[in-house]
Amino acid sequence: MRLFVALPVPEHAVGELERAVAPLRDGWPGLRWTGAEAWHLTLAFLGEADEAVLGPLATRLSRAAGRHSQLTMSLRAAGAFPRASSARVLWAGVQADLAALPALAHSVIAAAGRAGAPPASPGRAYHPHLTLARCRREPLDVGPLVDALSAFAGTPWTATQICLINSRLTEDPRYQTLGAWPLRAPGDGPLVADSR
């Protein structure tokens, strides 16, 4: 199984971004665009994992989620990896608490490691984003796309859960949610550290 942990994006946010991106797609045949149904905010890509890890991983992710509060976030503007002038990936940016979101990602990574499913790229800096497209072959200058999306500002929403997702690589990747765990709601009781 090819696993990752993500925050789901609500329908209204997906719809807003889709309306901004749809008119741009046809002019860029060198890009393989991700479908709106596949949009999510990855916290940790775990890569290939054995099915035996699912039980321990569920336990650890439940604990990790319970240690973090719900997050207010929105989609905003665009960028590219490694850079717009020579891009392999075009992405939409994320506006959120710049301390809380990376802290959640680090907790998820630590939980996965303890469960025996360490991240596929350990030590990589966390950069929250939503992947819009990947280059089909060589890198492209996507500066005009980044500029076209620079004024995009989506409506904020509250992220209330993390999800464990299995991705099946096909021409159009397929995603299956294997589990979801709630983040702490405002007013929940005191946070109790649990290092197990």
The stretches of the chain forming alpha helices (DSSP H) are 11-25, 54-66, 100-114, 143-148
Enter the pTM of the model: 0.89
Alpha-carbon distances, residue 92 vs 33, 41, 112, 149 (angstroms): 12, 10, 26, 8
What is the structure's pLDDT at 173?
63
Distance, CA of 160 to CA of 76 (rounded, Å): 19
**pLDDT by position in tens, the chain (length 196):** 899 999 999 999 999 999 999 999 999 999 999 989 889 999 999 999 999 999 999 999 999 999 999 999 999 999 999 999 999 999 999 999 989 999 999 999 999 999 999 887 777 788 999 999 999 999 999 999 999 999 999 999 999 999 999 988 766 668 899 999 999 998 775 554 444 4
Tell me the domains of the chain and their CATH numbers.
2-182 (3.90.1140.10)
- Whether 7 and 43 have beta carbons less than 8 Å apart is answered as yes
What is the structure's pLDDT at 168?
81
